[in-house]
Amino acid sequence: MSRYGRFSFWLEHSGDDLSPRDPLHGAINADVAILGAGFSGLWTAYYLSQRDPSLKIVIVEAEIAGFGASGRNGGWCVAGFPYPLDKLIDNYGVDTARAVYEQMYRSVDEVGRVSGEEGIQSNYVKPGTYEIARGEHRIPDLHETMDLYEKIGLGENYRLLDAAELSEDIQINRAVGALWKRHGASVQPAALARGLARAVERHGVTIYEQSPVRDYQGAPNPGLVTDHGEVRANVVVLAGEAYLSRLEKLKRQIIPITSHMVVTEPITEHIWEQIGWNERGVITGHDSRGGYLNKTIDGRIAFGAYRSVYPFNSHITDDLDRQEDIFQHARESCYDWFPVLRLHGIKFTHAWGGVLGVPRDRMPVMSYDPASGIATARGYTGQGVATANLAGRTLADLITNQRSQLSELPMARHQSPDWELEPLRWMGATFVRKSLQRVEKQAEKQGRYPDKPTLAQRIWGD
Ligand SMILES: Cc1cc2nc3c(=O)[nH]c(=O)nc-3n(C[C@H](O)[C@H](O)[C@H](O)COP(=O)(O)OP(=O)(O)OC[C@H]3O[C@@H](n4cnc5c(N)ncnc54)[C@H](O)[C@@H]3O)c2cc1C
């Protein structure tokens, strides 16, 4: 196992030895040159190779395929779109919002379909998602969310559950209700990324690894430039998510925010009988000990904390992945959700973190400008597992000039505003993060949220 195994439980258990592919050396030509071998880059390569097998497609990756958020996330392959649904309706209308959500449903299914067809051992199952209310103050939020799904005509895919109905499926401390969402799957994310990389290679795509791109150019001579080589191509695809902030030209287009996870040792059958959760549906809850949870195929709980760090000046380092206070918060939170784990002394075996990309307005971009030859897919604000599939399908349509429902969605034309200059960026991001935590704690104490949304809630849009 190469050193990359230590970046997440999923990478370590991906069934792959993670040895790097050859780096890029010298000058080469291609039809499409893609920066980044995460889900965005890999799905774009996959659908382009399906669309036109004669295309010469090259991926240039700084580390290894799946090194970024794609190999470290919660394994939540769900239809939640990163941009808040009420804003999607207000700014783009009900029909567009419905079209976006239908395409998100399709993306969740595509991940399963391609995993099956390509023999990718991604442990994909789709029993749905539960959004749990742990405290009465969370119930109105679930109802409001349900109303929005009804408003776009997709209500039949969602179901409100009371505490008794929920407890038939799963026993969660302090749970008073839930919203069940049909289009939710669980995956082993690193196995998906690694398997997808092998699949695109079988379809003729070349992946260069350990080759950080230092700069890119658009027309008249589009290309990606590394320390030891360059690719000139008709189309350049920028698919580096949070890490794109390292490129001078994109520094203010996206910021890196961390997310962190812990995972338990395998839990015995006797304890699982007390918890329930027989199917591997993914679970979330947004209280002050909230998290995003997954059940692994070998019977562990992976718990992702809703705590994050924005590094000053978007400076990404490996140290950022190791935040012991957040790991401890995640472990305590997991015990708080399932006290039986503490009772039986269940231990946590792994802890890791990664960075996800946040655009200033939270609207993802999946666009291609034929004049410059530059395409990009980015800005999923922590909801990129299924959304990156949508991005890949959208870019394939745009790059091959195929008009479709995807090429008409707002993300295909969208441009995010720039983030503020430092130190304002850091101050703003830190203020919003801390204020939202405070609001949640107060709401838990008082049993309800403030009547009027706070400034931080208005900025974040939840
Ligand atoms: C801890 C954590 C938990 C998460 N949980 C979930 C979840 O459960 N569900 C969900 O939907 N989303 C989740 N997310 C977000 C999700 O993982 C991402 O949105 C998604 O994986 C983004 O895929 P990507 O390919 O765009 O970016 P990445 O996976 O980050 O891939 C970008 C790739 O580009 C490479 N790269 C970047 N810059 C360069 C360069 N200059 N030169 C060459 N290569 C470069 C990187 O090395 C990397 O491999 C989570 C994220 C984190 C960090």
Alpha helices in 267-423 (DSSP H): 269-275, 324-337, 339-343, 387-399, 405-408
Pocket test for ligand 1, best of 380, 381, 387, 395 (most atoms within 8 A of CB): 380
Domain that holds residue 452: 424-460
Query: Residue 223: CB within 6 Å of ligand 1?
Result: no
Query: Residue 239: CB within 6 Å of ligand 1?
Result: yes
261 within a domain of the structure (yes/no): no
Query: Residue 41: CB within 6 Å of ligand 1?
Result: yes
Which residue has its alpha carbon closest to ligand 1 atom 18?
A: 384
The reply to whether 377 and 437 lie within a common domain is: no
The reply to whether 66 and 23 lie within a common domain is: yes
Measured CA to CA, the distance from residue 81 to residue 348 in angstroms comes to 31
Query: Residue 107: CB within 6 Å of ligand 1?
Result: no
Overall pTM > 0.85: yes
The reply to whether 388 and 435 lie within a common domain is: no
234 within a domain of the structure (yes/no): yes
The reply to whether 408 and 428 lie within a common domain is: no
452 within a domain of the structure (yes/no): yes
294 within a domain of the structure (yes/no): no
Query: Residue 99: CB within 6 Å of ligand 1?
Result: no
Ligand 1 centroid–CA 418 distance in Å is: 20
68 within a domain of the structure (yes/no): yes
The reply to whether 61 and 7 lie within a common domain is: yes
Ligand 1 centroid–CA 271 distance in Å is: 33
Q: What is the CATH number of the domain that holds 41?
A: 3.50.50.60
Backbone angle region of 148, left / alpha / beta, with phi > 0 → left and psi within -120 to 50 → alpha: alpha
Query: Residue 64: CB within 6 Å of ligand 1?
Result: no
Report the pLDDT value the prediction gives residue 383, as an integer from 0 to 100: 97
Beta bridge partners of 223: 217, 232
- Regions in the chain scoring below 70 on pLDDT: 456, 458-462
Look at the block and give the residue holding tokens 């034309």: 413
The reply to whether 400 and 445 lie within a common domain is: no
The reply to whether 397 and 448 lie within a common domain is: no
Number of domains in the chain: 2
55 within a domain of the structure (yes/no): yes
The reply to whether 20 and 64 lie within a common domain is: yes
Q: Which two tokens stand for residue 455?
A: 């400034």
The reply to whether 60 and 10 lie within a common domain is: yes
User: Which of these, 104, 2, 149, 5, lies nearest to 386 by C-alpha position?
Assistant: 104
Give the Cβ contact number of residue 296 at 10 Å: 20
The reply to whether 449 and 387 lie within a common domain is: no
Tens of pLDDT, residues 389-436: 999 999 999 999 999 999 999 999 999 999 999 999 999 888 888 887
95 within a domain of the structure (yes/no): no
Query: Residue 261: CB within 6 Å of ligand 1?
Result: yes
Tens of pLDDT, residues 118-158: 999 999 999 999 999 999 999 999 999 999 999 999 999 99
231 within a domain of the structure (yes/no): yes
Measured CA to CA, the distance from residue 294 to residue 301 in angstroms comes to 6
Q: What is the DSSP string of 139-160?
A: HHHHHHHHHHHHHTT-GGGEEE
The reply to whether 448 and 401 lie within a common domain is: no
The reply to whether 31 and 60 lie within a common domain is: yes
Strands (E), 405-452: none
Measured CA to CA, the distance from residue 147 to residue 451 in angstroms comes to 19
Cβ atoms of 260 and 307 within 8 Å: the answer is yes
Query: Residue 356: CB within 6 Å of ligand 1?
Result: yes
Query: Residue 74: CB within 6 Å of ligand 1?
Result: yes
Alpha-carbon dihedral sign for residues 239, 243, 249, 251: positive
Ligand 1 centroid–CA 241 distance in Å is: 6
Measured CA to CA, the distance from residue 382 to residue 369 in angstroms comes to 25
Report the pLDDT value the prediction gives residue 429, as an integer from 0 to 100: 86
